[in-house]
Amino acid sequence: MAQAPVTAKPEVVLAFDGATEHLTLAAVTTAPNLLGSHTVHLGRAHAARLPGELEAFLAGLGVERSAVVSIVVGIGPGSYTGIRVSTSFAKGLARALGVPLFGASSLVAVGGPGLRPGASGVALLDARRGNCYAQALRREGDLPGGVPRITPLSEPIKVAREELPALFPGLEALPEAPPEAAYLCAVALTGDLSDEARARVVSPLYL
């Protein structure tokens, strides 16, 4: 009696960011295909709720932890506590699963949703007292399967808002909106980082 062929389960890249009052999560296959994304407002409850939110997110997609082959985490800038909690959790999870860990600017998750393919702009995040975190970004042609690809055009900086036009001439400020982790996933799908570089980029970015 012929046996039905065994269908291989897809390998999954998991991404999340907690640098703002929101926690955002996304999962894509290495094909790649976007499986799903989710953003929830946590305020300052990242430490208490991140593990449960992540488990519920994966369960809702029918993805087991064993299917995760790499992790991308937003390293900041943003909330000190949110960055510390999410990067520490990402490092522990990557060690437990034995998978590579990548870091990406949280401003990619913040600014990505406001960029059309082929467009450039400045991602902004409030840093209080008239200051903001800012980074110039460009959205390249998206990867197959609906996975967006964002290229940083500058390093993240902390700056007074009135200085933005001089620092980023010709670039419009992108709308400040809740972050979306789907914009972080391409780092793992297209990146080619050495172990030394990977360890460096996953260090929290406090500005």
Asked if pLDDT for residue 4 goes beyond 50, the answer is no
- The 3 state secondary structure assigned to the chain is CCCCCCCCCCCEEEEEECCCCEEEEEEEECCCEEEEEEEEECCCCHHHHHHHHHHHHHHHHCCCHHHEEEEEEECCCCCHHHHHHHHHHHHHHHHHHCCCEEEECHHHHHHHHHCCCCCEEEEEEEEECCEEEEEEEEECCCEHHHECCEEECCCCEEEEHHHHHHHCCCCCECCCCCCCHHHHCHHHHHCCCCHHHHHHHCCCCCC
Confidence band of 201 (pLDDT split at 50, 70, 90)? low
Distance CA 111, CA 106 (A): 9
Residue 197 has pLDDT above 70, yes or no: no
Mean pLDDT of all residues in 54-63: 97
Tokens found for residue 12: 């999954």
Give me the domains of the chain, ranges plus CATH numbers: 12-194 (3.30.420.40)
pTM of the model: 0.90
Neighbours of 3 (CB within 10 A): 5
Q: What is the mean pLDDT of the chain?
A: 90
Distance between CA 110 and CA 76 in Å, rounded? 10
Determine the average pLDDT of the residues in 80-91: 96
The pLDDT of residue 189 is: 81
Q: Any idea which of 22-36, 120-134, 160-174, 183-197 has the lowest mean pLDDT? A: 183-197
Provide the pLDDT for residue 71: 95
Q: How far apart are CA 180 and CA 175, in angstroms?
A: 13
- Which residues 6+ apart lie within 8 Å of 79 measured at CB? 18, 19, 20, 21, 44
**Has residue 7 got a pLDDT over 70?**
no
Q: How far is CA 129 from the centre of its chain?
A: 26
Close Cβ partners of 142 (under 8 Å, ≥ 6 residues apart): 117, 148, 149
Q: How confident is the model at residue 39, as a pLDDT?
A: 96
Q: What is the mean pLDDT of residues 77-98?
A: 96
Range in 5-14, 40-49, 146-155 the model is least confident about: 5-14
Question: What's residue 1's pLDDT?
Answer: 45
- Note the residue count of the chain: 207
In the chain, the percentage of residues whose pLDDT exceeds 90 is 75
**In angstroms, rounded to a whole number, what is the distance separating the alpha carbons of residues 80 and 147?**
28
Q: What is the mean pLDDT of residues 40-64?
A: 96
C-alpha distances (whole Å) from 122 to each of 61, 125, 139, 164, 183 are: 32, 10, 11, 9, 15
Select the more confidently predicted residue: 9 or 11: 11
